[in-house]
């Protein structure tokens, strides 16, 4: 499959260009507020890619972020593999814990996720973003991480216990989830994704060695599989990842998307601990001033974060996680305005 329609290392080139111009890339993780702009619901948008795209189009027209991701969806891969999933009207779909045995794997291997309607809906959303959004906006896509998908299949607590009690069983499952995620990534890239963010929320429960064994080693495999495409990869883990950032960076990803200071993440301190080639993306609290404060509070918090990160050449101004649907649009606008107005100090 040819990939010559991609500008090689577009993400890195954008970072370098922004730094040379004395500014920052501004890319809040904003998807759900777009539903309010178009009068849709989470359920409808997750099952109707036309409505999903219209929400993305509205965000692009109003806020013009440098990188735009669709709705964050942590259930789509597990649902495609047949796990029991609930679809509330006003909330994200949720995978319900069921009993699991490795004896089920042969049957699950027969499932071809490329025919799953919800998964294909996400792929088509990315395709439409590539067609309908300005070329100045890099098009992002989400996939769940291998360990977190294993946790949805067998239960998060059971997966954590298996890292100690049944590691071979867990490796078998994570190898399988990695293969399925790779299939999804391939579809997203062929549809125009330029940045793929791998979401590993459950892995924050692990110690550094277990994290490397059951998450970052498998993420590295995914990253290597698509390195030739020129598509950037980002590793996102919620919570306090201060003890995991080196392992995350060693996976070979182009960027780390990290949670807020309120979750325990000290972004300025991490700068000295990871290679300068790895972008740091974050980390305004998505449930802080941008959700509950006034526009001046948002601008103040953004300015403080930018000043703290002024010596990081590969910093991307973003939020610590996806913004809630009820985030005031004027506060998102204040985030973008403050980020756009900032200029790096001259040498």
Tens of pLDDT along 124-173? 999 999 999 999 999 999 999 999 999 999 999 999 999 999 999 999 99
CA-nearest of 168, 49, 146 to 102 is 168
Cα 77 from Cα 143, distance rounded (Å): 8
Q: In this structure, what DSSP letter does residue 279 have?
A: E
Query: Do the beta carbons of residue 45 and residue 336 sit within 8 Å?
Result: no
252-279 pLDDT per residue, tens: 999 999 999 999 999 999 999 999 999 9
pTM of the model: 0.95
Cα 322 from Cα 331, distance rounded (Å): 14
CA-nearest of 198, 187, 199 to 130 is 187
Residues 6+ apart with CB under 8 A from 65: 26, 27, 28, 30, 59, 137, 336
Query: Do the beta carbons of residue 70 and residue 141 sit within 8 Å?
Result: yes
Mean predicted confidence (pLDDT) in 211-235: 96
Cα 308 from Cα 219, distance rounded (Å): 29
The pLDDT of residue 264: 96
Q: Hey, what are 260's tokens?
A: 């807020």
Residue 8 vs residue 244, higher pLDDT: 244
Compute CA distances 162 → 79, 108, 150, 244, whole Å. Answer: 22, 20, 11, 20
Q: Domains in the chain, start-ordered, CATH in brackets?
A: 33-271 (3.20.20.210)
What's the angle, vertex CA 17, arms to CA 15 and CA 282, rounded to 5?
25
């Amino acid at each position: 499959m040819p990939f010559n329609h991609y500008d090689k290392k577009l993400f890195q080139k954008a970072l370098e260009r922004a730094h040379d111009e004395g500014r920052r890339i501004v890319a809040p993780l904003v998807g759900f507020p777009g539903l309010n702009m178009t009068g849709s619901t989470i359920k409808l948008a997750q099952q109707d890619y036309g409505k999903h795209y219209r929400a993305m189009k509205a965000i692009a027209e109003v806020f013009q972020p440098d990188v735009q991701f669709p709705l964050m969806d942590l259930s789509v891969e597990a649902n495609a593999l047949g796990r029991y999933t609930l679809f509330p009207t006003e909330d994200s779909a949720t995978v319900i814990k069921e009993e699991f045995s490795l004896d089920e794997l042969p049957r699950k291997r027969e499932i071809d996720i490329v025919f799953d309607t919800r998964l294909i809906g996400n792929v088509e959303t990315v395709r439409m973003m590539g067609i309908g959004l300005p070329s100045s906006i890099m098009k992002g896509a989400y996939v769940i991480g291998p360990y977190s998908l294993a946790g949805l299949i067998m239960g998060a607590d059971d997966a954590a216990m298996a890292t100690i009690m049944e590691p071979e069983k867990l490796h078998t499952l994570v190898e399988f989830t990695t293969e399925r995620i790779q299939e999804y990534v391939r579809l997203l890239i062929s549809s125009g994704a330029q940045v793929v963010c791998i979401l590993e929320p459950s892995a924050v429960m692990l110690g550094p060695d277990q994290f490397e064994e059951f998450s970052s080693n498998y993420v590295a495999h995914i990253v290597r599989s698509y390195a030739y495409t020129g598509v950037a990869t980002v590793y996102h883990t919620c919570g306090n990842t201060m003890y995991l950032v080196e392992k995350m960076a060693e996976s070979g990803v182009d960027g780390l998307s990290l949670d807020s200071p309120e979750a325990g993440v000290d972004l300025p301190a991490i700068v000295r601990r990871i290679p300068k080639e790895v972008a740091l993306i974050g980390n305004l609290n998505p449930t802080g001033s941008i959700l509950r404060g006034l526009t001046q509070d948002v601008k103040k918090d953004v300015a403080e974060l930018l000043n703290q990160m002024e010596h990081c050449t590969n910093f991307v101004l973003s939020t610590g996680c996806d913004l809630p649907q009820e985030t005031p649009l004027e506060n998102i606008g204040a985030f973008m305005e403050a980020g756009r107005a900032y200029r790096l100090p001259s040498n």
